[in-house]
Amino acid sequence: MNLADHTTIGLGGPARRFVRAGTEAGLIEAVRAADERAEPVLLLGGGSNLVVADEGFDGTVIQVATRGIDREEPGLLTVAAGEEWDAVVAATIAAGLSGLECLSGIPGLAGATPIQNVGAYGQEVADTITAVRVYDRRAGTVAVMTADQCGFGYRTSVFKHDPAHRFVVLGVTFRLAAQARSTPVRYAELAAALGVSPGEQADSTEVRSAVIELRQRKGMVIDPADPDTRSAGSFFLNPVIGPATLAHVEDVARARYGPDTAVPRYPAGGDQVKLPAAWLIDRAGFTKGYSQGDGARISTKHTLALVNSGAATTAALLALAREIRDGVQATFGVTLAPEPTLVSVAL
């Protein structure tokens, strides 16, 4: 079973063992059985955030295929880990609930969303998650973790940075607003597309449509007819930096591009700011479509996405990622970190 067939980027070698878990009990049992064999475990959802080694994964790959949405009360719903994320978003909007509309068009499954605190266009799942139901591999029990216990941060959580992968997400509980209007639109690009000012609300259905259109322009909505969508989404995180690093970036930008050059940034708490990784990549000389001719390239639509043109290998993709990372570091003194989960490989 080649994992390339189960990832949106279409890369990755075989798994030693492959199990499809269609029920919560089956998922727990598959994990428990692998643990008893002392075999490494890789949980597979939609494969939209995975970059797997060409050699594959020497362990058990468990495909999460659980289903179910439990509406406990108006605005409160618990979603099984195996539910398709975009279908969940669409269903909440159709039910007159808001809070997830800006997360439309994101591939993958619901169980993956708390792991990296999925976010886009000014929303994060941490804004609405109240609890995550997990299987605790160390204790061998099922537990419910509160949002505080999940340790959410920018594209991170306690789940993402646990090398032992102690917790297996079984379900996620969201608290949404019972209203047809969106939450305040925070992202300037989305606000402009909707014709509203940042901080204003809009119809949630219109927000969903606008988000999907923006994502399609950037090749961030899976489309078999569009080779730019053969990716793992955004490959690099937007770096969060302090005043000294920002001053250095501004000095470099002005020296290279003129004294009036403005460095885009967003508040990130305290005196820190978040820089758009795409801006840094482009200004460091890595433009849309850039390639070394080995089948791996930057998307022609968005410099944050690294694409498998159809003939790439994971090794070639990571070589391109390293070249970009090192080029940005050499130009601006900022080190970019990968956003996807790297399986049996390192950047």
Query: Would you say 135 and 26 are in contact if contact means Cβ atoms under 8 Å apart?
Result: no
Got the DSSP string for 15-42? EEEEEEE-SHHHHHHHHHHHHHTT--EE
C-alpha dihedral sign at 297, 299, 303, 306: negative
Cβ neighbours of 68 (radius 10 Å): 13
Query: Would you say 139 and 178 are in contact if contact means Cβ atoms under 8 Å apart?
Result: no
- Tell how many helices (H) and how many strands (E) occur in the chain: 8, 18
Helix (H, G, I), strand (E, B) or coil at 82: coil
Best CA proximity match to 305, nearest among 334, 331, 332, 282: 282
Instruction: Give residue 81's identity as a one-letter amino acid code.
Output: A
What is the C-alpha to C-alpha distance for residues 232 and 337, in angstroms, rounded to an integer? Answer: 14
Choosing from 48, 231, 234, 344, which is the catalytic residue?
234
Active site residue 182: no
Torsion region of 32: left, alpha or beta (phi above 0 gives left; psi -120 to 50 gives alpha): alpha
Query: Would you say 177 and 98 are in contact if contact means Cβ atoms under 8 Å apart?
Result: yes
Choosing from 20, 155, 166, 181, which is the catalytic residue?
155
Active site residue 234: yes
Active site residue 339: yes
Beta bridge partners of 37: none
The pair of structure tokens assigned to 88 is 């969940």
Catalytic residues: 155, 234, 339
